[in-house]
Amino acid sequence: MQREKFVINIGRQLGSGGKPVGEIIARRLGIKLYDKELINLAARESGLCADVFERADERERKGVLATLVGYLRAPFTGYEGGNTNNILANESLFRIQSDVIREIASRESAIFVGRCADYILRDHPRCVNVFISADDEDRCARLCAREHCTPEEARTMMERADAQRASYYNYYSSRTWGVAATYHLCVNSSVLGDEGTADFILEFAERKLHEKF
């Protein structure tokens, strides 16, 4: 019997292992994980260069606007029109990406990492919204290994990225990023590790969706 479609939306602190945990879950369930891929999909949908989505991705709202102003000084790549009335504001970029997320969720089960997917899919009847955090020491160590940076650089990256993600999420969702009441489940990956965190989320998802994975 074919399983009814569902989505797992993952919010995460930088360096908490949100994407690796999502990849583990996606592999076990045999479904796709969407993260940066959403940028290319949204770019194809709009006809815009993916660079404008990349630069605006989960940035502070004022940063999104600054990115667009700078980008629009140069000709669009692959965009026909040229009329100033057709220039996309940052809210329009968010709407395009939102449409892509909703379209994917309507046709398949999937895991979405970030991009306000939990808010965008708030009316989806079968969704599990998760926020993954981790101890600062573990986040720092993960970033140092991944980015080949110093602990000081890693901590700066953590502070900046978390602030940008919070600003982006809070603005577009009118909710509060990282606060327990915003999600169905919050979990610290330092306690269980990536594999154990994936186990824990899957067990919770089974109970919430009344599904056996």
Give the pLDDT score at 3.
81
Q: Residue 124: phi, psi to the nearest 5?
A: -65, 130
Pairwise CA distance, residues 208 & 63, whole Å: 37
Residue 70 has pLDDT above 50, yes or no: no
pTM listed for this prediction? 0.82
Closest CA to 46 of 89, 103, 97, 106: 97
In a domain, 126, yes or no: yes
In a domain, 89, yes or no: yes
Q: What is the pLDDT of residues 11-23, one digit of tens each?
A: 999 999 999 999 9
In a domain, 96, yes or no: yes
Give the pLDDT score at 76.
38
For the beta carbon of residue 181, count every other beta carbon within 10 angstroms: 7
Residue 51 has pLDDT above 90, yes or no: no
In a domain, 2, yes or no: no
For the beta carbon of residue 44, count every other beta carbon within 10 angstroms: 12
Q: What is the pLDDT of residues 106-162, one digit of tens each?
A: 999 999 999 899 999 999 999 999 999 999 999 999 999 999 999 999 999 999 999
In a domain, 212, yes or no: no
Give the pLDDT score at 46.
67
Pairwise CA distance, residues 163 & 159, whole Å: 6
Residue 130 pairs in a beta bridge with 10, 185
The mean per-residue pLDDT over the stretch 173-198 comes to 97
Q: Residue 144: which CATH number?
A: 3.40.50.300
Q: What is the pLDDT of residues 5-50, one digit of tens each?
A: 999 999 999 999 999 999 999 999 999 999 877 666 766 766 666 6
In a domain, 1, yes or no: no
Pairwise CA distance, residues 144 & 140, whole Å: 6
Q: What is the pLDDT of residues 80-94, one digit of tens each?
A: 333 333 335 577 778
pLDDT bin (cut points 50, 70, 90) of residue 64 is: very low
Domain encompassing residue 199: 7-207
pLDDT bin (cut points 50, 70, 90) of residue 54 is: low
Domain total for the chain? 1
Give the pLDDT score at 40.
67
Residue 43 pairs in a beta bridge with none
In a domain, 213, yes or no: no
The maximal CA–CA distance of the chain, rounded, in angstroms, is 54
Give the pLDDT score at 92.
75
Helices (H), ranges, the chain? 18-29, 37-46, 50-56, 61-71, 90-107, 117-120, 136-147, 151-173, 189-209
Give the pLDDT score at 48.
61
